[in-house]
Amino acid sequence: RIVAVIMVGGPTKGTRFRPLSFNVPKPLIPLAGQPMVHHPISACRRIPNLTQIYLIGFYEEREFALYVSAISNELRVPVRYLREDRPHGSAGGLYNFRDYIMDENPSHIFLLNCDVCCSFPLPEMLDAHKGYGGMGTLLVIKVSAESANQFGELVADPQTNELLHYTEKPETFVSDLINCGVYIFTPDIFRAIQDSFTQRKDRANLRRVSSFEALQSATKVLPADYLRLDQDILSPLAGKKVLYTYETRDFWEQIKTPGMSLKCSGLFLAQFRHTSPHLLAESKGSRSATIIGDVYIHPSAKVHPTAKIGPNVSISANARIGAGARLASCIILDDVDIKEHAMVIRSIVGWRSSIGKWSRVQGGGDYNTKLGITILGESVAVDDEVVVIDSIILPNKTLTVRVQEEIIL
């Protein structure tokens, strides 16, 4: 029996996703037409003997209630949201719910960050993990040396794949091999977390003997039950023959900004070619819009046959796309109205927004910079013939004149 746990975090972590995260928690923002967290969840379908999926976070329970019940029915695997009253860190959060998780009596536990985009090679990781015989196996990937310091950098034994050294977001370069935020563990992980708590307590007690002030500052920085998987568990266990690595040669990205969510939406759409081709739209002659590349269109959306859509476009429920409209590299959320001959490129258009005739909403396409794409929050109205470039527009604004490289509050 195997269970999967997906760490979804909480509202304080989602600030970079404003204004989209005003409406829904970051893990529920649609990428490729499905909530972000749906992608790791649906990858779990390939795990043999999967009995339960838990989402652990500190968002309000009601925010996940609808999604969790819908996806449980669809997958026919129970999916349950477990709410922390406050953040406990990635290892602390997992440990908090050990009784629920161990109720299933699992032989293995998958642990996935919800904000990563990859092919989630979970069955392959399971096989490799069984071969290594350790307590845990991390999915790892080689990235460019310049970008590695945004992640956990690690060194693995080229022969045995054992994790030899691990440093979280180091200031000086360690390695271009990084932690993908996808793990498989045996239940012994709970003992390792418990040990780490005990050691921390012992250290704090020692400090109490030597200096009361030191203890105070130590407890101020980290609450006693706050524990991070990377720094507090992986780092100290590296080189101890309990952790191993599985290197993916597929794609992998981290989704920390709206720009990256647009890029990852495209990667997930491309992945649908292999996993869910029925979700991709196709041109059907003169009765349907012209479709270029990978495109998702919700069945309730209405797209005019003279519109030209793609590549990398996802259109959510009840959106209307008018005659002659041109859409490329964009995410169009529910109930958006795009009028005739409007153009939307490298942008995210929030719920219930409208874009007037012959207007243009466009981003420059540098997905890592703040204004690299244009984002319209909920219920933004762009008047006819108005141009919006590289800008972030907060909810409920009406744009009547050209806007470029601005944040409209």
Residues 37-96 that bind ligand GDD (CB under 6 A): 56-58, 84, 87-90, 93
Distance CA 165, CA 279 (A): 41
Interacting span for ligand GDD (CB under 6 A) from 32-40, 113-121, 210-218, 257-265: 113-121
Q: Is 121 an interacting residue with respect to ligand GDD (CB under 6 A)? A: no
| Cβ nearer to ligand GDD, comparing 97 with 296 | 97
Number of residues counted as binding ligand GDD (CB under 6 A) = 27
> Going along 206-342, which residue ranges are E strands?
243-247, 252-254, 290-291, 295-297, 302-303, 308-309, 313-315, 320-321, 326-332, 337-338
Four-residue CA torsion sign, 216, 220, 223, 226: negative
Alpha carbon separation from 29 to 9, 25, 116 (Å, rounded): 14, 7, 13
Spatial contact of 361 and 376, defined as CB atoms under 8 Å apart: yes
DSSP assigned state of 162: B
Minimum separation from the CB atom of position 228 to ligand GDD (A): 6
Q: Is 113 an interacting residue with respect to ligand GDD (CB under 6 A)? A: yes
Encoded one letter per residue, x for contact with ligand GDD by CB under 6 A and - for no contact, window 166-205 reads --x---------xxxx------------------------
Residues 260-279 that bind ligand GDD (CB under 6 A): none
| Cβ nearer to ligand GDD, comparing 264 with 303 | 264
| Cβ nearer to ligand GDD, comparing 113 with 265 | 113
Minimum separation from the CB atom of position 87 to ligand GDD (A): 3
**Residue 309: both structure tokens together:** 């859509």
Q: Is 31 an interacting residue with respect to ligand GDD (CB under 6 A)? A: no
Spatial contact of 3 and 49, defined as CB atoms under 8 Å apart: no
| Cβ nearer to ligand GDD, comparing 115 with 378 | 115
Residues 199-238 that bind ligand GDD (CB under 6 A): 228, 230
State CA 136 to chain mean position distance.
22
Q: Which residues contact 227 (CB under 8 A, 6 or more apart)?
A: 88, 89, 90, 91, 92, 95, 193, 196, 197, 200, 233
| Cβ nearer to ligand GDD, comparing 151 with 268 | 151
Distance CA 296, CA 318 (A): 13
Site residues (vs ligand GDD, CB under 6 A)? 7-9, 13, 56-58, 84, 87-90, 93, 113-116, 151-152, 168, 178-181, 228, 230, 254
